[in-house]
Amino acid sequence: MKFQKFLIFCLLLFTTIIFSQNEDFVDNNGVKIFYVDYGPIENEPILLVQGLGGQLTFWPDELITVLQKNGYRPIVYDNRDVGLSEDFKDYGKPNFIWNYIKFYLGLPLRSAYSLADMGSDGIAILNHLNIEKTHILAQSMGGMISQRMVADNKNRFKSYVLIASMARTPDLQTAPRGELRRLIEDRSFGDQTLDGEVERSIRIFKILASPSSEIDEEKFEKEVIKNFNRSSNTEGFSRQLIAILADKDRYDEVQTITTPTLVIHGKLDPLIPYEEGKKTADLMPNSEFLGVDFMSHLIDKPVLDYIETPMVKFLDKNS
């Protein structure tokens, strides 16, 4: 009986170790990047690359669960200049008026770091975890970062899921309009307060979420406050935005990506035009395109319910 109890204890201990998440910092040429490896370690790794200003906590719990229950090992991280990863406050906040003028005149912008630099952070995590090959899932700005990451490291990726992104650098034709543009400009260049962040985040969510998506504003507000308190870096959003605008179109790069790719894009997306998502897929020689009629920009529950089966089938096919 004692031996049986001992075996049960060992099994429980082993299971806890295998399935417990691991979090740490990795040093990428002097830049500290914070990551969370959700495990389990015996599953197929999949690196998730977050969008503009998005902390790793922004990934829906339901997405992490979907990946885990289907045999995958989600690894998420804070992009540089957001969350717990190293900030670039010494570079200061980008000058709103000057950058605004240059953007509208089509003049080149200078950024504190490039999308290629941000892509190297993801590779540094894979090296740190001794992962030679992985799947990758990226959304929005994360898609822009990962396009360079995958193009420059084709041998590191088994498959590529690209969501709500494009290979084109945003310009006057593709820039968001109306209230969404004003909210992004306010987030980028205005003074940030907790109350303002809560109100703005709710408004942005309602614009970027699917029409059928429901929001519990009280719960959402608590999450915004929690994330605001997690990181005091309120200027990283602005510097990341300048990095996007300072990058060049990645049309040539995506045409070299032979990694099996699933491009998912919502027809209602007000931030990244649907036509640009489709064009990016058309340029990639080994891609499939999944257009979602009711999807806006986010991976909310209605979208996840719709894309889960084709996404998992795609990942399984390329594992």
The domain that holds 116 is classified in CATH as: 3.40.50.1820
Confidence of residue 192 (pLDDT cuts 50, 70, 90): confident
Structural domain includes residue 192? no
| Within a domain: 132 | yes
Residue 157 domain flag: yes
**Could you tell me how far CA 92 lies from the centroid of its own chain?**
24
Q: How far apart are CA 160 and CA 262, in angstroms?
A: 6
Model confidence at 129, in pLDDT bands (50, 70, 90)? Answer: very high
pLDDT computed for residue 3 by the predictor: 45
Number of domains in the chain: 1
* C-alpha separations of 308 from 54, 98, 157, 159, 264 in Å: 22, 43, 20, 16, 11
Residue 135 lies in a domain: yes
Bridge partners of residue 22, in order along the sequence: 37
> How far from 36 is each of 14, 59, 73, 232, CA to CA, in Å?
20, 12, 11, 19
DSSP 298: S
Please report, to the nearest 10 degrees, the dihedral formed by the alpha carbons of residues 233, 235, 237, 238 taken in order: -170
pLDDT digits (tens, 9 = 90+) for 230-269: 998 989 999 999 999 999 999 999 999 999 999 999 999 9
Rounded distance, CA 81 to CA 115, Å?
12
Residue 11 has pLDDT above 70, yes or no: no
Instruction: Report the range of poorest mean pLDDT among 67-81, 100-114, 175-189, 249-263.
Output: 100-114
pLDDT tens digits, residue range 281-293? Answer: 999 999 999 999 9
CB atoms within 10 A of CB 281: 22
Whether 10 is in a domain gets the answer no
Domain membership flag for residue 246: yes
Q: Which domain holds residue 240?
A: 22-174+235-317
Task: Catalogue the long-range contacts made by 55-62 (C-beta closer than 8 Å, 24 or more residues apart).
Answer: 55/82, 55/83, 55/227, 55/230, 55/231, 56/83, 57/83, 57/223, 57/226, 57/227, 57/230, 58/227, 60/299, 60/300, 60/301, 60/304, 62/301, 62/304
Q: Is residue 3 part of a domain?
A: no
Question: In angstroms, how far is CA 252 from the centroid of its own chain?
Answer: 22
pLDDT band at 103 (very low <50, low <70, confident <90, very high): confident
pTM reported for the whole predicted model: 0.91
Residue 12 maps to a domain:
no
Residue 265: its H or E element? strand 261-266
pLDDT digits (tens, 9 = 90+) for 166-186: 999 998 899 889 999 999 888
Q: For 71-75, 141-145, 198-202, which range has the lowest pLDDT when averaged over its residues?
A: 198-202
Residue 34 reports pLDDT greater than 70: yes
Residue 312's pLDDT band (cuts 50, 70, 90): very high
**CA 311 – CA 319 distance, rounded (Å):** 12
* Mean pLDDT (the chain, rounded): 91
Which two structure tokens, joined as six digits, stand for 62? 């339901």
Q: HEC states along 286-297? A: CEEEEEECCCCC
